[in-house]
Amino acid sequence: MDDYIYFCRNSFCMGDDVVAPNMSRYKYSPENFSKEKLQEYITDYFKYIPRYEWNGFCNGKHIARVICSGDDHTYQVSTELEDNWNEMLKERRTIFFDHDRDEECKFGVNESKYYSKENAEEVFRRYFLRI
């Protein structure tokens, strides 16, 4: 059976609410999961997000900073990961991304505690697999 990590985020704008919950899952193997693979997944997850900055939280702890910049031709996603990203991800398997604004970061910390691997799997099944 495949194992997964889950990415969730709060909405970026009203139009973004239409596709809520804003969630994706990616294949994960704790034995051979690399920093480069996580950065690749994050880049994929943010490929259609307008220029913005995000903080990723895993069980209430900061795990990643993501900066989306450029326009259609120069768009890029850069990711900075905490040194202990791998340990955090092994334990929780879910990252909740929040807008990079001081008043909203508390929301991201709290929401990331809500999204355990089991809860994220349930939400994903309900909304995306319709099970």
**How many domains, in total, are found in the chain?**
1
In this predicted structure, the answer to whether residue 8 has a pLDDT above a threshold of 70 is yes
Is the confidence at residue 17, as pLDDT, over 90? no
Q: What is the pLDDT of residue 61?
A: 94
Q: Which domain holds residue 81?
A: 4-129
Paired tokens of 108? 């991201």
Q: Quick one: CA torsion of 118, 121, 123, 124, rounded to 10 degrees?
A: 170
Whether pTM exceeds 0.85? yes
**Is residue 16 within 8 Å of 52, Cβ to Cβ?**
no
Sign for the CA dihedral angle at 109, 90, 26, 83 comes to positive
The residue-averaged pLDDT of 60-64 equals 94
The predicted-structure confidence for 97-106, as pLDDT tens digits, reads as follows 988 665 556 7
Length of the chain: 131
